[in-house]
Amino acid sequence: MNLKAIGTIPVALAGFGVGAQNFVFNGDFEPPETLDASSPPYFITAFSGDATSISGWTVGGRKGDVSVDIVHQEFFFEQGFPKFFAYSGVQMIDLAGSPGPGSIWQDIGTTPGEMYQLSFACSSNFLGGPHWLEVQWDGAIVDFFLAPEAGEWVVRNYSLMATGAVTRLILGSDPNNFSNGGPVVDAVVIVPEPASFAALTLNLSLLVFRRRK
Nearest residue to Ca ion, using CB? Answer: 89
Among 24, 71, 86, 142, binds Ca ion (CB under 5 A): 86
Q: Which is nearer to Ca ion, 69 or 138 (CB)?
A: 69
d(C-alpha 30, C-alpha 131), whole Å:
23
Residue range at the interface with Ca ion (CB under 5 A); choices 23-31, 32-40, 75-83, 165-173: 23-31
Residue range at the interface with Ca ion (CB under 5 A); choices 89-97, 154-162, 177-185, 195-203: 89-97
Q: Indicate the SS3 state at residue 13.
A: helix
DSSP state of 88: S
Examine residue 88 and tell whether it contacts Ca ion (CB under 5 A): yes
The one-letter amino acid at 177:
N
Examine residue 28 and tell whether it contacts Ca ion (CB under 5 A): yes
Examine residue 186 and tell whether it contacts Ca ion (CB under 5 A): yes
Entry field: residues in the chain? 213
The rounded Cα 140 to chain-centroid distance in angstroms is 14
Examine residue 150 and tell whether it contacts Ca ion (CB under 5 A): no
> Which residues are 172's β-sheet partners?
103, 134
